[in-house]
């Protein structure tokens, strides 16, 4: 009984940022949705070429910052006005100017946690294994090469048609990646 290999998808290699930019436009226009580009440095405008939507991370950071602010005000109000009310120098129990530094700092702290953990969550990190790591040429994605990977789970994926599309974009090489 022969073991059948499971295909992750196709990987195309490019030499220049301009080449991958135009290739991403063609892949986007072909209607693929389960694909990604891999570059050694940020390529200006590549997000638009890929048709990517803006991230929701700023909303996560804002929500976490407001949670920090609400937590700080609630904690300070509770401790100074309800749990242990003490009148100092005739000031009211809830004297908001004294609460500003702690409120600011907790807002910043919660925002930072939201940014870090939101980024990790949206990027599905940490990811200790990926099928592309088995391709020896893919190591150059951190040095001097540009890649596009199209996953086999994409609704438009057809090994022959997808390979022809990637070859028509000017790829140096197109290879099948096993999962």
The yes-or-no verdict on residue 1 having pLDDT over 90 is no
Q: Give the start-to-end residue ranges of the domains of the chain.
A: 7-54+130-178, 57-122
Distance (Å, whole) CA 23 – CA 140: 18
Report the chain's mean pLDDT, rounded to a whole number.
94
The yes-or-no verdict on residue 2 having pLDDT over 60 is no
Per-residue pLDDT at 155: 95
Per-residue pLDDT at 114: 98
Per-residue pLDDT at 47: 94
Annotate 116-151 with b (16+ C-beta within 10 A) or e (fewer). eebeeeeeeeeeeeebbeebeebeebeeebbbbbbb
pTM exceeding the 0.85 threshold for the entire prediction = no
pLDDT tens column, 33-44: 999 999 999 999
């Amino acid at each position: 009984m022969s073991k059948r290999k499971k295909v992750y998808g196709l990987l195309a290699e490019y030499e220049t940022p301009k080449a991958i930019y135009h290739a991403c436009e063609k892949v986007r226009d072909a209607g693929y949705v389960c694909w990604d580009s891999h570059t050694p440095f940020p390529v200006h405008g590549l997000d638009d070429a890929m048709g990517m939507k803006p991230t929701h991370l700023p909303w996560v950071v804002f929500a976490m910052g407001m949670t920090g602010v609400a937590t700080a005000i609630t904690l300070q109000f509770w401790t100074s006005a309800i749990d242990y009310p003490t009148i100092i120098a005739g000031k009211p129990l809830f004297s908001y100017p004294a609460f500003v530094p702690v409120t600011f700092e907790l807002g910043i702290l919660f925002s930072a946690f939201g940014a870090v953990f939101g980024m990790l969550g949206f990027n599905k990190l940490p990811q200790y294994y990926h099928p592309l790591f088995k391709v020896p040429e893919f190591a150059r994605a951190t040095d001097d090469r540009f890649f596009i990977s199209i996953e086999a789970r994409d609704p438009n994926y057809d090994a022959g048609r997808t390979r022809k599309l990637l070859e028509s974009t000017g790829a140096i090489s197109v290879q099948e990646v096993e999962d």
